[in-house]
A = this chain, B = another copy of it.
Amino acid sequence: MTLTFEDFPPGPFGSFGPRHVSREEILAFAAEFDPQPMHLDEEAAKKSMLRGLSGSGWHLGSLMMRMMCDGFIDRTASLGSPGVNELRWLAPLRPGDDLMLDVEVTEARLSKSRPDTGIVTFKGVARNAKGEALCELISPIIVRRRDGAGAA
């Protein structure tokens, strides 16, 4: 069954995971997209603000996207997203972390320009196994309404 706009009222939506994150993944992502010493080099990372090897914040955001895809976007009538309203890196992603993602709907409104769609704004919080919040993401997604809703 495909989820439509009507399935996303404001409020808690669900928790997804765990997603294990290996050291190899962290190093591979950093080498490709964010080759800063704190993400690539154990010794340099120890001296960094984050006091140890940490994953790129872009890696963490991309992992959250994947967890949302697996959790619900893959079965949602989603047309795409105009962007991210806010992305906060709160604590470092560490090698071996098992991520959980808590998702809530912060706003759901009908689109003015496309009456057969609505804009659902999601807030996702990624946590490690200790429950520490690592990253907060707020992003709107354009979602189709139930068949026939909004038709002229």
Q: Identify the A interface with B (CB < 8 A).
A: 29, 32-36, 38, 48-50, 56-59, 61-63, 65-66, 69, 73-74, 78-89, 142
Q: A81-B57, A82-B88 are in contact. Are A66 and B35 (CB under 8 A)?
A: yes
Query: CA A94 – CA B5 in complex, angstroms?
Result: 28
Query: CA A99 – CA B63 in complex, angstroms?
Result: 24
Cross-chain contact B65 with A33 (CB below 8 angstroms): yes
Copies held by the complex? 2
Cross-chain contact B57 with A83 (CB below 8 angstroms): yes
A119 to chain B, nearest CB (A): 13
Chain B residue contacts of A84, Cβ below 8 A: 57, 84, 86-87
Cross-chain contact B86 with A83 (CB below 8 angstroms): yes
With CB as the reference atom, state the residue of chain B lying closest to A34. Answer: B65
Query: CA A52 – CA B79 in complex, angstroms?
Result: 13
Q: A34-B66, A62-B34, A66-B34 are in contact. Are A81 and B89 (CB under 8 A)?
A: yes
Query: CA A80 – CA B39 in complex, angstroms?
Result: 10
Chain B residue contacts of A69, Cβ below 8 A: 34-36
Q: A58-B62, A66-B35, A142-B49 are in contact. Are A89 and B82 (CB under 8 A)?
A: yes
